[in-house]
């Protein structure tokens, strides 16, 4: 029998017919490794008459019910619960809390749950469950990494839901390369997914992500599953954010927020004020914005530090914010307000370890940069909401009423919004400043 091998990039999963020093897909060096793909003889021939056609009109969508996990944050991110037969990939850095989240969910599920662990011993899992402080319920454990053995066990012990911790520890007999390699991940996941679809059993697959923030074997896995959840958050912060990167059964706008405490993960149901550092000291460069995460408003703090560049080329660094967007805002400030920023280092942070994609925080970013540059503090009682255009105009944003109400509810004195947002300031107790251009911030910050 001829042994078939292929070369895979261990970072991005790109496939090559020969070895190369650098992956042309992700540009990483020394990541291409030869893997033995198939031990068995190639399966040849297609058996006739095995596939069945279905009429679209015959498909019943009524029956698409969801299994509630009793974890509101997770249910919301999933789009209202688990769809039977769906495969959900939960990615995150090691130590972020993936196993904790899954164990917590498993302990509360009303179904016969099977937790397959290849990482921690049953004893360790039991200890964690005791820490979480829930009665073990109906959960069962399987300490196994061989996919064929797992599938064999599943035939005899039909679980209602399956949790795999983690995909990187599984190995299939059909593939010779070591556990955690791209072809193993692909094959093992493929077999598990096939089981899920054939038996209508939902599966959570935990996957560690590498330092570039990709799930190892990422492209391969993300395409194979129905939903990709990312569990993130700065490890030094207590908060963990769960977001859907892909969801065949719901939106990808919702996030779930959790706090890690000594008894596992606590759901944060009203997170709007959570990320504010209650900095009353009046330091320059700190500005509050009202962002939306899904349907929930979230008040966040933008911190900027602008200082003369000491080492030649000025640095621009962001945490939790798109660097390209920062470059754009800096260019707008230079061009439309005549502020010289090209010789300065600019650092920008969203506090709380959260990443914000909502363009409505542009105005706060601009205000924070101005505030730091002028060394003039902005009141912690003010909030900013608006998108910036290239001409320097402050553009309207979605869900403005909800954002204003949230700032009002939390006791802010004043909110700055675009004058193009059609609202009546008299309807609110909070003072609403409506501005048209970034220049209007000049005398304020
Ligand atoms: P874990 O779920 O093992 O992370 P992952 O599976 O993503 O690698 O969580 C690891 C961290 O969580 C660990 O550093 C300890 C911490 N932790 C708590 O703070 N409280 C708890 O109740 C539990 C179970 C874990
Ligand atoms: Mg783990």
Q: Whose CA is nearest to atom 14 of ligand 1?
A: 95
Residues of the chain with pLDDT under 70: 1-2, 38-50, 61-64, 135-137, 211-219, 234-238, 274-275, 277-281
Q: Whose CA is nearest to atom 22 of ligand 1?
A: 264
For 380-402, how does the pLDDT look when each residue is reduced to its tens digit (9 = 90+)? 899 999 999 999 999 999 999 99
Q: Whose CA is nearest to atom 9 of ligand 1?
A: 97
Distance 260 CA to ligand 1 centre (A): 8
Give the closest ligand to the alpha carbon of residue 119: 2
What does each C-alpha distance from 22 to 101, 153, 182, 214, 270 come to in angstroms?
37, 41, 17, 18, 47
- 185-223 burial string, b = 16+ CB within 10 Å, else e? bbbbbbbbbebbeeeebbbbbbbbbbeeebbbbbebbbe
pTM: 0.73
Q: Which residue, 320, 322, 360, 326, is CA-closest to 346?
A: 326
For 124-158, how does the pLDDT look when each residue is reduced to its tens digit (9 = 90+)? 999 999 888 876 667 899 999 999 999 999 988 88
Question: What's the confidence (pLDDT) of residue 434?
Answer: 95
Phi, psi of 58, deg, nearest 5: -85, -10
Question: What's the confidence (pLDDT) of residue 216?
Answer: 61
Distance 64 CA to ligand 2 centre (A): 31
Count of alpha carbons within 13 angstroms of residue 218, beta-carbon side:
19
Q: Which residue, 84, 88, 89, is CA-closest to 68?
A: 84
Edge-to-edge strand order for the sheet containing 286-293? 316-319, 344-350, 296-308, 286-293, 382-384, 414-418, 431-435
Distance 100 CA to ligand 1 centre (A): 6
Integer Cα distance of 325 and 412 in angstroms: 27
Ligand 1 environment, Cβ below 6 A: 92, 94-100, 128, 131-132, 260, 262-264
Distance 272 CA to ligand 1 centre (A): 25
For residue 96, the ligand 1 atom closest to its alpha carbon is 7
Q: Whose CA is nearest to atom 25 of ligand 1?
A: 264
Question: What's the confidence (pLDDT) of residue 38?
Answer: 63
Integer Cα distance of 332 and 392 in angstroms: 6
């Amino acid at each position: 029998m001829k042994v078939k091998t292929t070369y895979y990039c261990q970072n991005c999963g790109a496939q090559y017919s020969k070895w190369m020093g650098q992956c042309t897909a992700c540009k990483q060096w020394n990541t291409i490794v030869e893997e033995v793909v198939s031990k068995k003889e190639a399966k040849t021939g297609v058996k006739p008459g095995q596939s069945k056609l279905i009429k679209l009109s015959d498909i019943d969508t009524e029956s698409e019910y969801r299994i509630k996990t009793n974890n509101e944050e997770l249910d919301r991110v999933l789009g209202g619960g688990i769809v039977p037969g769906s495969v959900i990939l939960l990615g995150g850095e090691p130590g972020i809390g993936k196993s904790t989240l899954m164990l917590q969910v498993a302990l509360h599920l009303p179904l016969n749950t099977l937790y397959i662990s290849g990482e921690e011993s049953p004893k360790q899992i039991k200890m964690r469950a005791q820490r979480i402080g829930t009665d073990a319920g109906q959960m069962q454990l399987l300490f196994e990494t061989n996919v064929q053995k797992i599938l064999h066990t599943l035939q005899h012990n039909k679980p209602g839901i399956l949790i795999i911790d983690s995909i990187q520890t599984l190995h299939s007999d059909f593939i010779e390369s070591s556990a955690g390699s791209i072809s193993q991940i692909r094959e093992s996941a493929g077999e598990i997914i096939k089981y899920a679809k054939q038996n209508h059993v939902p599966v959570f697959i935990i996957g560690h992500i590498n330092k570039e923030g990709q799930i190892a074997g990422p492209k391969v896995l993300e395409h194979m599953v129905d939903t990709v959840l990312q569990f993130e958050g700065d490890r030094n912060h207590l908060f963990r954010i769960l977001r859907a990167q892909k969801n065949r059964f719901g939106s990808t706008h919702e996030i779930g927020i959790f706090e890690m405490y000594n008894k596992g993960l606590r759901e944060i149901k009203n997170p709007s004020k959570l990320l504010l550092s209650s900095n009353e000291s009046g330091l320059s460069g700190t500005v509050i914005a009202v962002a939306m995460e899904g349907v929930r408003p979230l008040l966040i703090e933008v911190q900027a530090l602008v200082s003369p560049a000491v080492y030649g080329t000025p640095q621009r660094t962001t945490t939790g914010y798109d660097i390209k967007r920062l470059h754009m805002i800096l260019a707008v400030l230079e061009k439309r307000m005549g502020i010289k920023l090209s010789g300065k280092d600019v650092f920008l942070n969203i506090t709380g370890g959260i990443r914000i994609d909502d363009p409505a925080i542009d105005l706060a970013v601009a205000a924070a940069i101005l505030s730091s540059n002028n060394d003039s503090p902005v009141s912690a009682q003010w909030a900013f909401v608006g998108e910036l255009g290239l001409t320097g105009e402050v553009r309207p944003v979605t869900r403005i009423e909800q954002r204003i109400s949230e700032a009002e509810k939390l006791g802010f004195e004043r909110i700055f919004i675009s004058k193009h947002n059609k609202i009546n300031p008299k309807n609110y107790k909070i003072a609403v400043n409506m501005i048209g251009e970034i220049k209007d911030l000049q005398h304020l910050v």
